[in-house]
Structure 1
Amino acid sequence: MNTTEVDAPRVGQRPWLALAATVVGAIMVGLDGTAVTIAAPYVARDVHATLPELEFIANAYLIALAVGLLPAGRVADRIGRRTTFMIGVLGFGFSSVGIAFSGSVTALIVFRAIQGLAGALLQPAALALLRTAFDGKRLPLALGVWSGVNALAIGLGPVLAGVIVEYLDWPAIFLINLPIGIIAAVSALFAVQESHARDATVFSSLRTLLTHRTVLVTGAVIALSSFGIFGLLFMLTLYLQNVLGLSPIVAGLWILGPTATVVFSALIGGALGERFGPRWPMSAGLLFVGCGIFGVAGAGQPAGYWQLVLPALGVGIGTGLCVVPATNALLAAAGERLTGIASAVQQAGSQFGGLLGIALLGTVLSSTVAGAVPAGTTGVDDIAQGMVPHGVSADVAHTAFTSGMNIALIAAAGITVLGALGTALLARR
């Protein structure tokens, strides 16, 4: 007879230490995810990287992270969630040291890919640890704190990187990960007992999970929320620095508000999901995201601080409202036996949604800019980044970029609002 063995949750025994350990891991991954964008010019200077090589250095991490998430979830279920988390945070720390001391493009790409795989190990294992440490009533609160801090770390990444690069150098961004990883690993060791899932029918159960309506809908909601906020941040970063001429630190402070808002709205989303079920908080959250993106698109050019930040706050509020109820519903649908896989689905949805948002909005932006400038204009690729190439007036370049950005954001807003309708497929509880 096929049997399933799952270690019982260690409810009530150091759950807050477990939350602290997973939050530290989330901070480490979140900061590195956005901090590298500020450090990129300095990295290119030191290793003499071309622009395609620099893009490969950045994408090696994202691709390895996204591709490794689902296998990592299965690894967590098999060898243990706590063990997988500890391997992930320590691997992330040591690979970061390798990045800091890399002297060539090849070494940077290799260590960035290893870092992405380590991040893939620790993220689904972190959610599984929370499921093990907290009972059902307190789990939404823990998920809210974890999601909110993760979003805050992403928002703070460019600001902290700007300060570190200005006063130290870019390797310091990565060197701080090793002591942080050691702290997270030791905390996890004492916070929660090991948990596994051993099942001879796991692959058929996995197929059932991935075709479960709740899993499909909640995974799509998580992907759509990341699609909106990552696409928006990508556009705003170009607009603030290349069009408005803000420094990296100041631009990071501008987008800190929308990302910090996720911290508070995530707590509200968890409470609303517990009270009313996941469907309506997810739907309302996606509507907030879509309307906020549409508001940014209508801000005009040039847009002042409040013209951009007020609608962008709606995007942050909506993201927090929908992600925590969606994550809780996904974990509940999976059950304890497949918590690691379900956690990986959540993280994969977030990563692929963000990558799709950047890719799709970037494509719309580039194609719109190409059609907005006069035929034969040189430096169209530069204009698509908000820069002014030689021989083109700043007014023409910036008007073309802003037009492309607005059309891309309107498309993203429409897709997100349509996604809110899809939550009607989810049961109330």
Structure 2
Amino acid sequence: MRKWLPLVAVCLGSFMLIVDTTVVTVALPEIGTGLDASLSSLQWVMNIYTLVLAALTLSAGSVGDLLGRRKVYLLSLAVFAGSSLLCAVSPGAGVLIAARGLQGVGGAAMFVTSMALLGTTYEGKDRGVAMGVWSSVIGVAAAVGPVFGGLLTESMSWRAIFYVNIPISLVTMVLTKICFTESRQPANARVDFPGIITFALTSGALTYGLIRAGEDGWTSGLTLGLFALALLGAVLFVLAERRHPSPMLDLSLMRDASFLAIMLSTIASAWGFSSLVFTSLWLQSVVGLTPIKAGLALLPLAAATFLASTLTGKRLHEVSPRVTITAALLLVGVGCAINGLVIDGDSSWTAALPGLLVIGAGVGVGMPATASAVFASVPPQRAGMGSGAMATFRQLGQALGVAVLGLVFAHVIREDLDGKVADAASAENTLTSGRPTTLGVLHDAGAHGLTAVYLASAGLALVAATATAAFIRKRPHAAPETR
């Protein structure tokens, strides 16, 4: 039993981290009322956390490799606990936004070092089991976040969603000190500050550009300017990595078709998971469920993810990642296609259930297989780099998915309502904000928007499945040690 205590420590931290990416969604109206915050401020309460995670995940993995993964994990937990306390006592929106950004700093380091700790603590079948359980916890956390947030907000206050992180962080810190020994790169390796700065610029500008694209359109001046800044940052990052003796990312991996296919599968899986944002809107605006009930309607997906990841992590660790990752993407694609074909304006929440179960199974199969394939492609002393790359591509997939699918969702609704209602803009805003409506034409438009989202997700998943089947090696070999 003692050998699984490290897994408990990692799962506690990861559960808390992922819940905090979604728990705030339900509490935003109460936060706005309690702090007299504007809509723009509330959007930043959500977006700053995502931005910081995207900007720092790869950097945090590299720092963990150099300074020690156990040390960085403990520090990240302390930062997360302290920033959660600051969130809970925030007197205004500005302080809350700053505290959420600090949460993102702790969360980025926590996420990538937790993956690296699992990858270096367990081997063989035990690693498969650990990755399966960890992946299932991630899936459950993402689904129960809105339910958890709704229960705490309704029974106590919005501040409770942040207070609850403090005892969990303290327990996790105690377990971490007991269970883990320190692991790091050789002592002569140096922190890659140019790489950290240029990658933060690249990923931060790209993620914020995707956020603005979803709100202002892809051709707005700010959106295009941010994408240009991201491109410049990427060029500077490559130049910095080529010159540094201990680069935070081994660029030779980017020439490996197998590794790139694994990263594409991570993007596609995260993209498919982004469709749940619009499913939640549909459940609330069209089906008429409360936020808590909408969260409960998504729990079958979490259950399927938990069962699939636990079973496959334990039993399929010897199977080629080409098979498991391709099968996972096919399941995600088929599940999205099912929902894209069966949901209509008269559907209840049960119409989405078969597709959600298949998507959940696909996510559950894919997460442990992808994590294991990534760790097999890098040397053990660079486990943080591998987990950082995976986490970064997952964040990119989520940000890209929400931005692009948001445009698809809104465009289809707008086209469907054209000429059918007097105030199309107001009607569209009702559907995209999740406010319940009883108007039949809005039910049809909302359903058509959601089915378009699912069909777009299905297409990407199937393209990614083709790429993984063609390019992932049967048995990835460890990358050579970086300079």
Using structure 1 for the length normalisation, give the TM-score.
Answer: 0.92
Is structure 2 residue 286 aligned with structure 1 residue 240? no
The equivalent of 1:406 in structure 2 is: 451
Indicate how the Cα distance of structure 1 residues 162 and 72 shifts in structure 2: closer, same or farther if over 3 A, else same.
same
The equivalent of 1:427 in structure 2 is: 473
The equivalent of 2:202 in structure 1 is: none
Distance of 2:295 and 2:248 partners within structure 1: 46
Report % sequence identity.
Answer: 30
Distance of 2:69 and 2:434 partners within structure 1: 46
Is structure 2 residue 17 aligned with structure 1 residue 29? yes
Structure 1: which amino acid aligns with 2:311?
A: I
Report the more deviating stretch, 292-301 or 92-101. Answer: 292-301
The equivalent of 2:369 in structure 1 is: 325
Report the more deviating stretch, 197-206 or 155-164. Answer: 197-206
Computed over aligned residues only, the root mean square deviation of the Cα atoms, in angstroms, reads: 1.9
> Deviation at 1:268?
3.0
Could you tell me which runs of 5 or more consecutive residues in structure 2 were left unpaired when the two chains were aligned.
Answer: 190-244, 476-483
Distance of 1:384 and 1:64 partners within structure 2: 29
Report the more deviating stretch, 365-374 or 70-79. Answer: 365-374
Distance of 2:90 and 2:248 partners within structure 1: 43
Tell me, what secondary structure is at the counterpart of 2:148?
Answer: helix
> Deviation at 1:340?
0.5
Distance of 2:433 and 2:61 partners within structure 1: 39
Q: How does 1:331-346 map to 2 (within 5 A)?
A: 331-346=375-390
Task: Kindly provide the CA deviation profile for residues 90-117 of structure 1, in whole angstroms up to 9, marking residues without a partner as x.
Answer: 2111101100111111111100010011
Cα contact 1:66–1:348 (8 A) shared by 2: yes
Structure 1: which amino acid aligns with 2:358?
A: G
Distance of 2:280 and 2:110 partners within structure 1: 28
Report the more deviating stretch, 139-148 or 292-301. Answer: 292-301
> Deviation at 1:321?
1.0
> Deviation at 1:365?
1.0
Distance of 1:112 and 1:204 partners within structure 2: 26
Cα contact 2:282–2:434 (8 A) shared by 1: no
Task: Kindly provide the CA deviation profile for residues 250-284 of structure 1, in whole angstroms up to 9, marking residues without a partner as x.
Answer: 11110011022111111233245423210111111
Cα contact 2:65–2:382 (8 A) shared by 1: yes
The equivalent of 1:7 in structure 2 is: none
Which residue, out of 423, 429, 445, partners 1:382?
429
Q: How many residues align?
A: 414
Is structure 2 residue 67 aligned with structure 1 residue 79? yes
Report the more deviating stretch, 369-378 or 346-355. Answer: 369-378
Cα contact 2:261–2:464 (8 A) shared by 1: no
Structure 1: which amino acid aligns with 2:34?
A: D
Could you tell me which runs of 5 or more consecutive residues in structure 1 were left unpaired when the two chains were aligned.
Answer: 1-12
Distance of 1:223 and 1:263 partners within structure 2: 20
Q: How does 1:280-319 map to 2 (within 5 A)?
A: 280-298=323-341, 299-319=343-363
Tell me, what secondary structure is at the counterpart of 1:427?
Answer: coil
Cα contact 1:383–1:398 (8 A) shared by 2: no
The equivalent of 1:5 in structure 2 is: none
Is structure 2 residue 311 aligned with structure 1 residue 268? yes
Q: How does 1:78-117 map to 2 (within 5 A)?
A: 78-117=66-105
The equivalent of 1:3 in structure 2 is: none
> Deviation at 1:215?
2.4
Cα contact 1:81–1:195 (8 A) shared by 2: yes
Tell me, what secondary structure is at the counterpart of 2:317?
Answer: helix
> Deviation at 1:202?
2.6
Structure 2: which amino acid aligns with 1:267?
A: T
Q: How does 1:3-152 map to 2 (within 5 A)?
A: 14-152=2-140
The equivalent of 1:164 in structure 2 is: 152
Report the more deviating stretch, 184-193 or 129-138. Answer: 129-138
Task: Kindly provide the CA deviation profile for residues 152-194 of structure 1, in whole angstroms up to 9, marking residues without a partner as x.
Answer: 1111111121111111111111101111111111111111110
Indicate how the Cα distance of structure 1 residues 224 and 387 shifts in structure 2: closer, same or farther if over 3 A, else same.
closer
Task: Kindly provide the CA deviation profile for residues 66-109 of structure 1, in whole angstroms up to 9, marking residues without a partner as x.
Answer: 11101101110111000111111121111011001111111111
Structure 1: which amino acid aligns with 2:95?
A: A
Cα contact 1:31–1:157 (8 A) shared by 2: yes
Cα contact 1:261–1:316 (8 A) shared by 2: yes
Indicate how the Cα distance of structure 1 residues 317 and 85 shifts in structure 2: closer, same or farther if over 3 A, else same.
same
Indicate how the Cα distance of structure 1 residues 379 and 399 shifts in structure 2: closer, same or farther if over 3 A, else same.
same
Q: Which runs of 4+ in 1 moved over 4 A?
A: 386-389
The equivalent of 2:251 in structure 1 is: 207
> Deviation at 1:343?
0.7
Report the more deviating stretch, 42-51 or 293-302. Answer: 293-302
The equivalent of 2:405 in structure 1 is: 361
Using structure 2 for the length normalisation, give the TM-score.
Answer: 0.82
> Deviation at 1:383?
4.1
Cα contact 2:284–2:434 (8 A) shared by 1: no
Is structure 2 residue 220 aligned with structure 1 residue 175? no
Distance of 2:395 and 2:363 partners within structure 1: 14
Indicate how the Cα distance of structure 1 residues 95 and 162 shifts in structure 2: closer, same or farther if over 3 A, else same.
same
Distance of 2:13 and 2:248 partners within structure 1: 31
Cα contact 2:284–2:435 (8 A) shared by 1: no
Cα contact 2:128–2:317 (8 A) shared by 1: yes
Structure 1: which amino acid aligns with 2:139?
A: A
Structure 1: which amino acid aligns with 2:445?
A: A
Cα contact 1:221–1:323 (8 A) shared by 2: no
Tell me, what secondary structure is at the counterpart of 1:379?
Answer: helix
Cα contact 2:133–2:313 (8 A) shared by 1: no
Cα contact 2:283–2:349 (8 A) shared by 1: no
Cα contact 1:18–1:188 (8 A) shared by 2: yes
Indicate how the Cα distance of structure 1 residues 194 and 107 shifts in structure 2: closer, same or farther if over 3 A, else same.
same
Task: Kindly provide the CA deviation profile for residues 203-234 of structure 1, in whole angstroms up to 9, marking residues without a partner as x.
Answer: 29722234333322212112211110122x11
Report the more deviating stretch, 399-408 or 280-289. Answer: 399-408
Report the more deviating stretch, 161-170 or 200-209. Answer: 200-209
Tell me, what secondary structure is at the counterpart of 2:54?
Answer: helix
Distance of 1:237 and 1:39 partners within structure 2: 15
Distance of 2:434 and 2:169 partners within structure 1: 38
Structure 1: which amino acid aligns with 2:447?
A: T
Tell me, what secondary structure is at the counterpart of 2:298?
Answer: helix
Structure 1: which amino acid aligns with 2:294?
A: A
Cα contact 1:286–1:322 (8 A) shared by 2: yes
> Deviation at 1:384?
4.3
Tell me, what secondary structure is at the counterpart of 1:274?
Answer: coil
Cα contact 1:82–1:194 (8 A) shared by 2: yes
Indicate how the Cα distance of structure 1 residues 267 and 367 shifts in structure 2: closer, same or farther if over 3 A, else same.
same
Report the more deviating stretch, 174-183 or 194-203. Answer: 194-203
